[in-house]
Amino acid sequence: MLIDGHNRVVNYLRISVTERCNFRCQYCMPEKPFSWVPHENLLSYEDMFEFVKVSIDEGITKIRLTGGEPLLRANLDKFVHMISSYAPNIDLAITTNGYLLEETAEALRDAGLKRLNISLDSLKPKIAQKIAQKDVLDKVLRGIVKAHKLGLKIKINCVPLEGINDNEIVDLLEFCKSQGWEIRFIEYMENSFANVKKGLNTTEIQEKIKQKYNFTKLPRVGSSPSQSYQLDDGYIFGIIEPHADDFCSDCNRIRLTAEGFLIPCLYFEDAMSIRDAIKEKDIKQAASILKEVLKNKPEKNKWGSEDNSNRAFYETGG
């Protein structure tokens, strides 16, 4: 079992397999970055898998592949297969914008994937295009429907932005309810890479839903950052409320970037590289770096302080 310096059990590893993305979402990466990490600096799947094995052996039970856009990295199913063959009971999921799902969902399912979280910010083609800066909606919806038909469990993520998609909160909720998908609204997290005037906070999101539905707040389960709410008819939706800032106390996660940096907290600059240890196949050293990073995991995130991270969400995987 992995325990950090503040007695929290850490069992969740998020891996950003690439920082590159095929969308330019205004809240994340409105402009293509000045430079990308060169391909040769990325860890290969074999490298990442070496670290995955160390992590699982030490106590990681949940892994999420994210990015950038993870489906942009070729043969992601190969990596999924490596992980699910090594640990068939691992809770393995992917967070994706869904654009390439139509082409990849079947191979991912066959490789052992069970769950997908998919960004869907609007049901209006023009608004989806405005947010992602690309005409994406039809293809994304086809991908989600295909993945659902293949038996993958679907959760939808939506970031409500004032004056852009905030009048679609109820429509998105109803659409997801009709499809049997849970929706989670994410409070916009301010960051220097975004180009957004204002996102809606949890109170504003709830107000929109209250205009049509009664709902109750459910007790928080495990270490999920999502607060669940239940409509009177039983449908459960979530709101990820980083501004409420109360999920550090049982934070269970660490992040690995595509270059090999192990990051103890989204809002904390310090990170350590496992790259050399993995390249040299020094498993003991990789395990020792993992423990060192856990020892240094801050008790509380450093959002707003000078120790806050300058990394973009597309680099860390959000």
Place of tokens 């809770």: 91
> Which CB sits closer to ligand SAM, 56 or 312?
312
Closest CB to ligand SAM among residues 203, 214: 203
Q: Least Å distance between CB 196 and ligand SAM?
A: 7
Question: Which backbone phi and psi does 158 adopt, to 5 degrees?
Answer: -140, 130
The CB-of-275 to ligand SAM minimum distance in angstroms stands at: 22
Residues 191-250 that bind ligand SAM (CB under 6 A): 191, 194
* Pure H helices in the chain: 45-58, 76-86, 101-110, 125-132, 137-149, 169-179, 202-210, 275-279, 283-295, 313-316
For residues 290 and 295, what is the distance between their CA atoms, to the nearest angstrom? 9
Return the number of the residue (11 or 119) whose C-beta is nearest ligand SAM.
119
- Confirm or reject binding of residue 95 to ligand SAM (CB under 6 A): yes
Q: With respect to ligand SAM, which residue has the nearer C-beta, 165 or 277?
A: 165
Single out the segment in contact with ligand SAM by CB under 6 A; choices: 174-182, 183-191, 229-237, 260-268.
183-191
Strands 12-18 and 215-217: unpaired
Q: In sequence order, which residues have a C-beta less than 8 Å from that of residue 302 and are 6 or more positions away? A: 265, 267, 268, 269, 308, 309
10 or 189: whose CB is closer to ligand SAM?
189
Kindly write out the interface string for residues 141-160 of this chain, putting x where it contacts ligand SAM by CB under 6 A and - elsewhere: ----------------x-x-
Q: Does residue number 122 form part of the binding site for ligand SAM (CB under 6 A)? A: no
Among residues 21 and 271, whose Cβ is nearest to ligand SAM?
A: 21
Residues 6+ positions from 203 with CB-CB distance below 8 Å: none
Q: How far apart are CA 198 and CA 181, in angstroms?
A: 27
Give all strands of the β-sheet with 261-263 in edge-to-edge order: 215-217, 226-231, 236-240, 182-186, 153-158, 115-119, 91-96, 62-67, 12-18, 253-256, 261-263, 272-273
- Kindly state whether residue 301 participates in binding ligand SAM, applying the rule CB under 6 A: no
28 sits near ligand SAM (criterion: CB under 6 A): yes
What is the chain's Cα-based Rg?
19
Q: Using CB under 6 A, which residues numbered 29 to 88 contact ligand SAM?
A: 66-67, 69
Residue 170 has a CB neighbour count (10 Å cut-off) of 14
The reply to whether 294 sits near ligand SAM by the rule CB under 6 A is no
Q: What whole-number distance in Å separates Cα of residue 306 and Cα of residue 318?
A: 20
Least spacing, CB of residue 35 vs ligand SAM, in Å: 19
Q: Which residue bears the tokens 């052992």?
A: 112
Position with the least CB separation from ligand SAM: 318
| In the complex, least distance from residue 94 CB atom to ligand SAM, rounded to whole angstroms | 8
Among 12, 51, 185, 188, binds ligand SAM (CB under 6 A): 188
- Give the residue, chosen from 27, 237, 247, 261, that forms a contact with ligand SAM under the rule CB under 6 A: 27
- Residue 309 binds to ligand SAM (criterion: CB under 6 A): no
Helix, strand, coil percentages, rounded to 5, for the chain: 35, 20, 45
Residue ranges binding ligand SAM (CB under 6 A) = 21, 27-28, 66-67, 69, 95-97, 119, 157, 159, 186, 188-189, 191, 194, 313-314, 317-318
